[in-house]
């Protein structure tokens, strides 16, 4: 499975990404293990996530979301997560650490 996700900073800077391992990727974002936009702007709160059956579908969806204006991305987030809660905590517990995964 592949995931398209939207991260936000405390000031609601947004980032859209795609991954085949959401737990590992969230760990990387949270601990700023990969230099770049999310590390520079502290964008590490998972506010929207979608599951796709194939990598091609996920990449298409990621490109679609990246092409949207900010207002439309916010509408997508608020439709499923009106409080902008950190969904990583719901999905993985308070600590997102890939070493804690089973199997």
State pTM to two decimals.
0.88
> What pLDDT sits at residue 95?
54
* Domains assigned to the chain: 2-94 (3.40.1440.10)
> What pLDDT sits at residue 100?
47
Mean pLDDT of the chain, nearest integer = 90
Alpha helices, H only, 37-99: 37-40, 55-67, 70-80, 87-92
Q: How far is CA 34 from the centre of its chain?
A: 15
Residue 2 has pLDDT above 80, yes or no: yes
Show the CA angle centred on residue 44, arms to residues 64 and 83, nearest 5°: 80
Residue 37 has pLDDT above 70, yes or no: yes
> What's the CA gap between 22 and 49, in Å, rounded?
9
């Amino acid at each position: 499975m592949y995931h398209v996700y939207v991260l936000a900073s405390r000031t609601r800077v947004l980032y859209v990404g795609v991954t085949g391992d959401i737990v590992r990727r969230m760990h990387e974002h949270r601990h700023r293990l990969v230099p770049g936009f999310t590390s520079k702007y502290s964008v590490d709160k998972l506010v929207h996530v979608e599951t796709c059956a194939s990598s091609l579908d996920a990449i298409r969806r990621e490109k679609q979301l990246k092409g949207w204006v900010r207002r439309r991305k916010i509408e997508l987030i608020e439709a499923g997560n009106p409080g902008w809660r950190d969904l990583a905590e719901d999905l993985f517990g308070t600590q997102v650490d890939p070493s804690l995964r089973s199997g």
